[in-house]
Structures are given as C-alpha cells and as structure tokens.
Chain A
Amino acid sequence: MDDRLKGLKKAMDTHTFRHVPFTEEKKARMKRGMERVEENDLFVQGHILQLLLAERTGHELIQLLRARGLKRFLEEEGFLYATLHQYEKDRWIESIWRDGVKSYRMTSTGRKLLEKQLKKKERVFSLKEILEGGSHE
C-alpha cells in the first residue's frame, strides 16, 4: 500500500475505528453471513419442503438440516420456527399436535410447489452439463 494510505489507515484505526474493534467474534459472524448468502431462500425452502414429505417436528428438522450442511439456522434455530409458521400460513405445510408435541407435514399445495421447483432444478442441471461438458453432483 502507498505510504500515505498506510498513514490514513493508521489514523483511522486510532481515531475513528477505535471504538469499533474488529474482534474475532465479529469476524466469525461476518464469515457466516457471507456463507449464508449462498443459501438463498429458495434453496432453503426446497430442503425444508423436501424433508417435510414425512411428518416431522421442528427439532427433528434442525438436526436434519444441520446434517445436510445448511448453515442458515446455525445459531438461529428459533428462526426455523418462524419460517415454518410462515409456510403454514402459505398453506404449503400443515401442523398437527400429538400429545402436546407439534409436528409438520406437507399439504397438497406444498407438494405441487416442490414438484415445480424440482423440475426447474433438473432443467438447470442439464443446461450446466451441456455448457461444462461434464457431470455434476
């Protein structure tokens, strides 16, 4: 870096940014945020809906999503429930209480949505194959 820029950086570190330290914790959080950007809403939705082809509780879903490597709900498990409640409002899934335990399962509307999404995914994949001339996982 240019000397003058180095000087500017030093000055800002001493004055402007003194009270906003870039701690390790913040670094880790930002890194997580950047990783999550790759997991867009549609992506997460597809996984959740697919898993709900069977009846499951929220807690079971968290474990399964974690096992699939989804980072969206790490350290934010409560928000899976917000998502589930939103899907329930959209009538993609429905909830059942059994013995005081709430579980979720797909509705026919949700099933149709999932089928549509899977079809789209297939098309994208085959196009990719043609362009890149190889097979993808």
Chain B
Amino acid sequence: MNERKFEYLDRVTSYIKSKEAKRYVEEELHYHLHQEIARLMLDGYSREEAEQQAIEQMGSPDRLGAEMNKLHRPRFDWVLALMVFVISLIGILPLLTMSSDLKIFAGFLPNKILSLVISSVIILLFMWIPYQKLVKFKRFFFILSFVMMWLILEFGIIVNGAPYFVIKDGFVLSSFSVLTILFLAWLSYLGDSEASLLWGSILLVVSVYFFMIVPDLSATLMYVTIVGILLWVRFPERRKTFVMMVASFIVVFSTYVFINIDSIERYQLERLLAFINPENYKDNAGYNYINNKELLSKSGWFGQEGGQIDLVEFHTDFAFVNLTYHYGWLLGGFTILLGMLIAARMLRKLSNIRDPFGRLIILGGVSLYSFQFLYNIMMVVGVVPYIAISLPFISYGLTSTVQYSMIIGLFLSVFRRQNLVRITEDRGASK
C-alpha cells in the first residue's frame, strides 16, 4: 500500500551519488510525505488518494533528484592539496645537496620519494574513510599503542640514546610512532559522546609515563600539550576543573623537580645552560646553536655553493638550515610561510564545520602539526632550546611523514563531509 511513497523516494534518491546525502534526503522527504498524507486524510481523503495526491504535489522526482545530487557533492580543498604538494616537493631539496654516495647508495633520495608516495596513499585513505568510524576503534588504538610501548621498552635497541624497535630493515618503531597512534586513540576516545574527563585524565597520566621513562622529552612535551588541548576543547563545561587539575599537576611536578634537583643529570643541566649561553659551551652542547646561527646568516637570498657542509642532523632536525644554506632565504622564508599557511587554512575552514567531532579532529591535527613546525623553526634560529623535533614535510623520516599525512587526510575527510553531517539536538534544547 505504501509502495508508491517508496517508489517516489527511491526514484529521487537514485540520482544522488553520495551515500550519506541519499540517506538524509530520503529521511527528510519521507517525513514530509508522511505528514502531508496525514493532513490530507484529515481533510477527508482516503489513504490511497492522500498518498497519490501528496506525491503529485511534490513535483518531478527526476528533476528534484538531479538537483539534490548537484547540491550534495562531496567537497575537496584544492588549495590545501596544492600547498601540501608544493611543500612536499620542497622537502626533497635538502636531500639533493648530499654527496652522491649518500644520496643514492645510502638510499636517502629513493626513500624520500617512496615516503611521498606513501604520504599520498595515507592522505587519500584517511580522506575516503568516514571519520565518524574512528570512534569504533578507540580500544584498538589504545591497545596497539600499549603493545608498541612494550615492544620498544622490552626489545628495543638503543641508538643515540633512544630505544627503537626494529620491524624490518628501515622500518622502526620509535616513541614518536607511539605518539602518532596515541593521537588517533585520543581522537577516537573523545569522539565518543560517552567520554569522561576523569577517565581521560587517568589515561593521560598512565600513558605519559611511557614517554618519561624512554626518556623522550620532546614527545612528553608534545603529548601533554596536544592531549591538554583536546581535553580543553572536548569538555568546555569542565574547564574550571581542568585548570585546577593542570595547576595541581604543575605544583606536584615542580616539587618533585625541586626535591630531586641534585640528581638531575649533569648533561641535562648542561643542555639547558648551553641554550642560555652557547658561547660557554662552544665545544659540546652549545655548538649547534652557534653553528646554525652562522650557517643561516651566511645563506643570503639564494644560498651558498658548497655541497656537504658541517651540519649534524642535516636531513632531519636541522633540515631547514640545510635548505636555507643551499637555496637561500628566499626559499627558506617561503617554506616557513607555506608551512604556516597550511595550518592557517585548516583553521579557517573550521568555521565551515558544524560537527563537534570534526572540529575536534581538525583542532587536534592543527595543534600537533603547528607545534612541531613552529618549534623546529624557532629552534634552528635559536629562540628556544633544542629538543628532538623534526620539521613536517621537510625533514626526512617515515614516522613524521605518516603523522602529518594522517593529519592532512583527516582534515580532508572532515572537510569532504561538512554538508553531510547530521547535527542532532535533544528535544527542548535550543540556542
């Protein structure tokens, strides 16, 4: 008896390509028909007559379907994609300045090209998957991160003071990889309407312990900052509680440091003092500050000739110095600008996003990305002390590539579905 109604609805939605839009349009039009049929029946029409009349009143299903399809096309941010493309290409440049042996035979250049391919795959993968599905995997991500932590602590080999778990030649798990998985885990957990600030805080304290015992200072700092931001955004009603918790934590932490001030390792103290006064530590901890400054000031607008230069970490943490020295401040400055524009654009598009979970994802991603980008730049010019943070897009390294690609992909996923998201409110609640 209701076939005509569903026939009409199916015909309209057959023109709509997007699955989510199909569902929402069908639901809305179904409700309309339902109401209109009821109204006509009150006017005295029989059920069949009312149904027929209501459908006729709707107008041409074909034209309507075509228009709905035009209105509900998924969105893509071409400008952002272009910016990411350009800055990814710039990321190849530091590796071109290596001697040919290192470049090809040690595999740096081919690996970078490969990592760009992986980057595109990850971006597209995350864009395609509806971000709302993340919530289902919250337990999985947390368990995965704990497994990774255990592997690194139990079976990791120490390289340069940090433990790495080797999966295969070239593929290692570091504490930074754990950070990436934990970032996903937190997004998934906080995307759930059932998330609680209490359990979240407990989870934070437990997990940050890992980064502290590695020890990975930069990861600890980033982790606490990013999760702090996520909790701040996610629980707006509990901000006072949150501030009190942070304050008490700072008090406890400072007391701990104060009590144990004698046992702070000499080298850690040295590193801090070297930042404040590099000249006094010219031969060890202060060397990088002085060297970076010198190289950057010699770069000029278009860079210096000279192949391999005396620069450590020239393809990772200090890749920016390498880039600027060889290609000049014109390119260096442009790179900084582009990196910041990418963050700024994602923030600007935030106003288009109504879904709270989508907003959380973008804010979290922009925070994680900007923290690293800004800190690295400030670090190489000597404004902040050195900690091991690489420059997204420019620095070499698969773990970094995976992380920023994930952030871009998640943004595109949220952006794509901005018009297709269902904003619900409880009865009675309104602005």
Q: Which residues of A contact B (CB under 8 A)?
A: 55, 57-59, 62, 74-79, 81-82, 85-86, 88-89, 94-102, 105
Contact in complex: A59, B36 (CB < 8 Å):
yes
What are 19 of the A-B contact pairs (CB < 8 Å)? Answer: A58-B32, A59-B31, A59-B35, A59-B36, A62-B32, A75-B57, A77-B32, A77-B57, A78-B60, A78-B61, A79-B63, A79-B64, A85-B71, A85-B72, A89-B419, A97-B423, A97-B425, A100-B31, A105-B430
Contact in complex: B71, A55 (CB < 8 Å):
no
A1 shortest CB reach to chain B, Å = 37
Known contacts A82-B64, A96-B425, A97-B423; A102 and B28 CB within 8 A of each other? yes
B417 shortest CB reach to chain A, Å = 13
Contact in complex: A82, B419 (CB < 8 Å):
no
| Those 9 A-B pairs whose CB atoms lie nearest each other, nearest first | A76-B59, A78-B58, A78-B64, A59-B35, A82-B67, A97-B424, A102-B28, A78-B59, A59-B32
B316 shortest CB reach to chain A, Å = 43
For B71, list chain A residues within 8 Å (CB).
82, 85-86, 89
Contact in complex: B31, A77 (CB < 8 Å):
no
> B4-46 vs A: 1/0 string, CB under 8 Å?
0000000010000000000011011101100110000000000
Q: Which residues of B287-311 have CB atoms within 8 Å of chain A's CB atoms?
A: none
CA distance A94 to B418 in the complex (A): 12
Q: Which residues of B contact A (CB under 8 A)?
A: 12, 24-25, 27-29, 31-32, 35-36, 56-61, 63-64, 67-68, 71-72, 354, 419, 422-427, 430
**Which of A62, A75, A82 has most B Cβ within 10 Å?**
A82
A71 shortest CB reach to chain B, Å = 13
For A94, list chain B residues within 8 Å (CB).
354, 423
B36 shortest CB reach to chain A, Å = 7
B184 shortest CB reach to chain A, Å = 28
Known contacts A58-B28, A98-B424, A101-B31; A78 and B12 CB within 8 A of each other? yes
Contact in complex: B59, A77 (CB < 8 Å):
yes
Contact in complex: A102, B67 (CB < 8 Å):
no
For B426, list chain A residues within 8 Å (CB).
98
B8 shortest CB reach to chain A, Å = 9
Known A59-B32, A96-B424, A98-B427; 6 more pairs at CB < 8 Å: A58-B32, A76-B59, A88-B419, A89-B419, A98-B425, A100-B27
